[in-house]
Amino acid sequence: MGTKCGRWNPTAEQVKVLTDLFRSGLRTPTTDQIQKISSQLSFYGNIESKNVFYWFQNHKARERQKRRRKVLVDESINDEDMRIQFDNISSNKHFPEISTNHETDERVIETLQLFPLNSLSEYAETEKLRLFTEEYMRENMTFSCSIGAEMDHPTLDLRLSFFS
């Protein structure tokens, strides 16, 4: 039991709640949501809002990481996605003069080579869907998460409404 608490060690219950919220679609909680979540989760043990913040950042990033690797092994892209790629490429608006951007250039080429125009990308579609969903949720959704009696503690009501 390594309670050398130099860093946050989430309890099983905390992880369960966070995971459930994530599975239910929550990806980038607002500051208010983070506050509420951490406040609720403090019931199960020490926790700060920054822990919640980092947890979602990491969880999202690592899910994306895995999927990205898979996509690289798999395949392709469609016209829509291509447009997105091109849009993303135009960066360095702030410091165009410095712009020693070999990396970007490489990525452009790489992208063009790896993803022919006429093929499909489930990544782009799911990403678009996710973004839409997130936007939709941000304005209309209430995330809730409850833990039942099987876990030997009172049920947690974790309703996180934007308007509450």
Residue numbers at the binding site for its own copies (CB under 8 A): 6, 31, 34-35, 48-50, 53, 66, 68-69, 72-73, 94-95, 98, 103
Q: Which of 11, 16, 43, 60 binds DNA (CB under 7 A)?
A: 60
61 binds, among its own copies, DNA, none (CB under 5 to 8 A by kind): DNA
Q: 128-143: b or e for each residue (b if 16 or more CB lie within 10 Å)?
A: eeeeeeeeebeeebeb
**4-40 core/surface letters (b: 16 or more CB in 10 A; e: else):** eeeeeebeebbebbbebbbeeebbebeeebbebbbeb
Nearer to its own copies, 77 or 147 (CB): 77
Query: Which residues contact DNA (rule: CB under 7 A)?
Result: 1-4, 6-10, 15, 27-28, 30-31, 50-51, 54-55, 57-62, 64-65, 68, 88, 90-95, 101
